[in-house]
Chain A
Amino acid sequence: MTTDALYQSHQQIQYDHRDELHHLLTTEGLRRETCERIFALTDSLTETSAVRKLPVLRGKTIVLLFFEPSTRTRTTFEIAANRLSADVTVVNLATSATSKGESLVDTIETLQAMQADMFVVRHAQSGAAHLIARHVAPHVSVVNAGDGCHAHPTQALLDGYTIRQHKGQVEGLRIAIVGDLLHSRVARSQIHVLKTLGAAQINLVGPKNLVPTEFEALGTRVYHDLDDGLQGVDVIMGLRMQRERMAGGVLPSDREYFRYYGLTEERLKVAAPDAIIMHPGPVNRGVEIDSALLDSDRSVILDQVTNGIAVRMSAISLVLSRSWSVET
């Protein structure tokens, strides 16, 4: 685990002076007990799934700020906040003020006048959520719903939760993450969560263009050959392959990528017999993963989607319950 200045700065900005989670911006610097608290809260939420709506955040306002289009993440955040009885506003800024030359911080200051208690932010630039967290009023929290290629902490937490659900715990597991690591905020966040939860080995697998060897500085192993990377692993996490990569000259074609790095039942023979398959969605069938495998028993992708709501409810309420304790 790298606990250098960068790690500490991530920790510093996310926790308040009483060591409680104030912002959720990245899983780097997130404490193990914080992850486990979110998982325990999620357990209690899934047990009481009969209760559709909880009065926990009544009177709180959550603003979803989406500077980049998103359906899945935005919807799950919206449902999560609604189930906690918060007032939710969705502001779609993908084509709005900031593209007219207004600075990001100016936009935030305008929106802060809406008396928000929390901003859930998605932005195409790495570091946007950090920038917003530095500029909001002290009582306002920021949850990162994806910033550039940097981080997507709630996705990684729900992945960790799903692994725990199927394998009992993350500790000691061997996990492969396959695909375009270079451009993936999901993968970066997964690596930190899995390290923090004690995974025995994290293999990053893909062509050299998309999986630079420098990733090993994060305590992972880099493989450019799929068979080597999948050897004996308990969990395989696929990543979405952006079609733009082919057009941009990084890779020759979907077909060639699938042939060498596509996940199929056949290629999985080298993994542990009970290995599970995960994917953050949306999936390109036949590009990063074979259709048959996607629909097989190994696939836990639909569980990820279901857990996405409960884990986001937990994360939101953990961050916002901190501000209650400030008031009382």
Chain B
Amino acid sequence: MAQRYVISGGRLIDPANGVDRVADLAISEGKVVAIDRLPRGFKTASRIDAGGHWVLPGLVDLRARVRPSQAEQTLVSVSELQAAVAGGVTTVVAAPEDGVLMDSSAAAHRLQQLSNDMGLCRVIPQGALTRQLAGTQLSEMAALQRAGCELMGNGRVPVGSQMMRNALDYAANFDLPVVVHCEVPGLAQGCIHEGATSLRLGLTGIPTAAEEAAVGRDLALARLTGAQVHFAGLSSADAVQLLSAAKKGGLPVTADVAIHHLLLSDEDITGFDANYHCRPPLRASSDRAALCKAVRNSVIEVICSDHSPKLGDSELLPFAETEPGIASVEILLLSLIHI
């Protein structure tokens, strides 16, 4: 891209500065230098006609899986970052998981280095809360923080109550936000929301109580430790209610929801279509309505893609045996418009 260029005729939407109108943007050395009127003597090497398009600040996706498929032996997949950029997402936060443990500063550096080299999209590592995500020993959170991890979490791996208490206490020392996944594993043996649809399809359900119980515990621990807890991927009205009450009581917690939980419900699962298999599962339409309302009322502050492309031949297996996950970063913004 040329050093200097103009994006002209697009609808400029910049909520932070309260801008929403058709405007020209002058860019120099990768920075916006003027809106509407070009600076005196600004010579443009090129002009991008954005008529009929939106011009937005790069989107930040708080939760997207950018891990490679088994074939690629790196920490970050080029194709997932390309998908992110195609969807207008310029920063993603990658949660630790098996294979991308993110429990050492070396690993955190390497992830950032690799994604910088790809030159597509910034990747911020979420540091592992416990070593190897095993839930038995705390990770060196302060070192991870220095290595660029702006928040901590244990991915989708559950953490025992005492360990979570220790981790939250410790994270609070460094003002590190801790991301928690909300599922009591013993109650979550199924693959679909427990309700009329799970009964009709004969698939084992996951009750919303699995989420409610986990949110309840971590709200109590947030209160006890004073840590800044972020609840990831809420799916149920019951959990929203708990969160809302805690926030009204002044607890400084935050939460996000995946785009598909705002758009879809278990009623959309027809013909055992494994594309709808995700975790937490798509809930009842009443849950979906409660989540949309929670976003409008800022009980939930963040919408993320929870982008999670399926690996391998998951279309060739029965529903319960497929890997959960929906690939959505590319359509995040597009989908939002439909809500």
Are A130 and B202 in touch, CB under 8 angstroms? no
Closest to B204 in A: A149
A147 CA / B202 CA spacing, docked (Å):
9
9-residue interface stretch from A42-50, A98-106, A282-290, A316-324: A98-106
A56 CA / B269 CA spacing, docked (Å):
39
Minimum CB–CB distance for B90 against chain A, Å: 37
Q: Which of A10, A131, A135, A214 contacts B196 (CB 8 A)?
A: A214
Which residues from 243 to 298 on chain A have a C-beta closer than 8 Å to any C-beta of chain B? none
A contact patch SS? helix
A105 CA / B267 CA spacing, docked (Å):
26
Q: Which of A9, A105, A148, A215 contacts B199 (CB 8 A)?
A: A215
Closest to B196 in A: A217
Query: With contacts A151-B202, A185-B202, A212-B199 known, is A10 near B318, CB below 8 A?
Result: no
Which residues from 215 to 233 on chain A have a C-beta closer than 8 Å to any C-beta of chain B? 215, 217-218
Interface residues contributed by chain A, number (CB under 8 Å): 35
A76 CA / B201 CA spacing, docked (Å):
25
Closest to A133 in B: B271
Residues of the A chain whose Cβ atoms lie less than 8 Å from the Cβ of B197: 6
Minimum CB–CB distance for A167 against chain B, Å: 27
Query: With contacts A5-B268, A5-B270, A9-B271 known, is A127 near B319, CB below 8 A?
Result: yes
Are B318 and A131 in touch, CB under 8 angstroms? yes
Whether a CB of chain A sits under 8 angstroms from the CB of B200 is yes
Minimum CB–CB distance for A69 against chain B, Å: 18
Which residues from 307 to 339 on chain B have a C-beta closer than 8 Å to any C-beta of chain A? 313, 315-321
Closest to A148 in B: B202
Most chain A CB within a 10 A radius of its CB, from B197, B271, B313, B316 = B271
Whether a CB of chain A sits under 8 angstroms from the CB of B272 is yes
Most chain A CB within a 10 A radius of its CB, from B200, B267, B268, B317 = B200
A12 CA / B272 CA spacing, docked (Å):
13
Whether a CB of chain B sits under 8 angstroms from the CB of A4 is yes
Whether a CB of chain A sits under 8 angstroms from the CB of B294 is no
Residues of the B chain whose Cβ atoms lie less than 8 Å from the Cβ of A151: 202
Query: With contacts A150-B202, A151-B202, A188-B202 known, is A127 near B272, CB below 8 A?
Result: yes
A258 CA / B202 CA spacing, docked (Å):
25
Residues of the A chain whose Cβ atoms lie less than 8 Å from the Cβ of B317: 103-105, 131
Are A214 and B195 in touch, CB under 8 angstroms? yes
Are B199 and A6 in touch, CB under 8 angstroms? no
A106 CA / B312 CA spacing, docked (Å):
13
Whether a CB of chain A sits under 8 angstroms from the CB of B203 is yes
Are A130 and B271 in touch, CB under 8 angstroms? yes
Whether a CB of chain B sits under 8 angstroms from the CB of A309 is no
Are A103 and B316 in touch, CB under 8 angstroms? yes
Query: With contacts A103-B313, A150-B202 known, is A123 near B318, CB below 8 A?
Result: yes
Query: With contacts A5-B268, A6-B267 known, is A28 near B200, CB below 8 A?
Result: yes
Which residues from 91 to 128 on chain A have a C-beta closer than 8 Å to any C-beta of chain B? 103-106, 123, 125-128
Which residues from 265 to 302 on chain B have a C-beta closer than 8 Å to any C-beta of chain A? 267-272
CB < 8 Å A-B pair total:
84
Query: With contacts A104-B318, A125-B320, A126-B272 known, is A4 near B267, CB below 8 A?
Result: yes
Minimum CB–CB distance for B273 against chain A, Å: 9
Whether a CB of chain B sits under 8 angstroms from the CB of A136 is no
Query: With contacts A105-B316, A126-B320, A130-B271 known, is A6 near B200, CB below 8 A?
Result: yes
Closest to A12 in B: B271
Are A127 and B318 in touch, CB under 8 angstroms? yes
Are A5 and B267 in touch, CB under 8 angstroms? yes
Minimum CB–CB distance for A106 against chain B, Å: 7
Residues of the A chain whose Cβ atoms lie less than 8 Å from the Cβ of B200: 6, 28, 188, 217-218
A215 CA / B307 CA spacing, docked (Å):
33
Are A128 and B271 in touch, CB under 8 angstroms? no
Query: With contacts A149-B202, A188-B202 known, is A125 near B318, CB below 8 A?
Result: yes
Residues of the B chain whose Cβ atoms lie less than 8 Å from the Cβ of A13: 271
Q: Which of B199, B203, B204 contacts A218 (CB 8 A)?
A: B199
Which residues from 1 to 59 on chain A have a C-beta closer than 8 Å to any C-beta of chain B? 4-6, 8-10, 12-13, 28
Minimum CB–CB distance for A204 against chain B, Å: 11
Closest to A4 in B: B267
Are B271 and A10 in touch, CB under 8 angstroms? yes
Are B199 and A217 in touch, CB under 8 angstroms? yes
A136 CA / B9 CA spacing, docked (Å):
52
Residues of the A chain whose Cβ atoms lie less than 8 Å from the Cβ of B268: 5
Which residues from 202 to 238 on chain B have a C-beta closer than 8 Å to any C-beta of chain A? 202-204
Minimum CB–CB distance for B174 against chain A, Å: 43
Are A6 and B270 in touch, CB under 8 angstroms? yes
Most chain A CB within a 10 A radius of its CB, from B202, B267, B321 = B202
A188 CA / B200 CA spacing, docked (Å):
7
Minimum CB–CB distance for B295 against chain A, Å: 25
Minimum CB–CB distance for A216 against chain B, Å: 9
Residues of the B chain whose Cβ atoms lie less than 8 Å from the Cβ of A6: 197, 200-201, 267, 269-270
Closest to A130 in B: B272
Which residues from 59 to 101 on chain B have a C-beta closer than 8 Å to any C-beta of chain A? none
Closest to B266 in A: A6
A215 CA / B268 CA spacing, docked (Å):
19
Q: Identify 16 residue pairs between A and B in the complex whose beta-carbon atoms are under 8 Å apart, listed by A's number.
A: A8-B270, A9-B271, A104-B318, A105-B313, A105-B317, A106-B316, A125-B319, A125-B321, A126-B202, A126-B203, A127-B272, A135-B316, A147-B202, A150-B201, A182-B199, A218-B199
| Given A10-B271, A215-B199, 6 additional A-B pairs, CB 8 A | A5-B267, A105-B317, A123-B318, A131-B317, A147-B202, A148-B318
| Among all A-B residue pairs, the 4 with the closest Cβ atoms | A150-B202, A127-B272, A149-B202, A125-B318
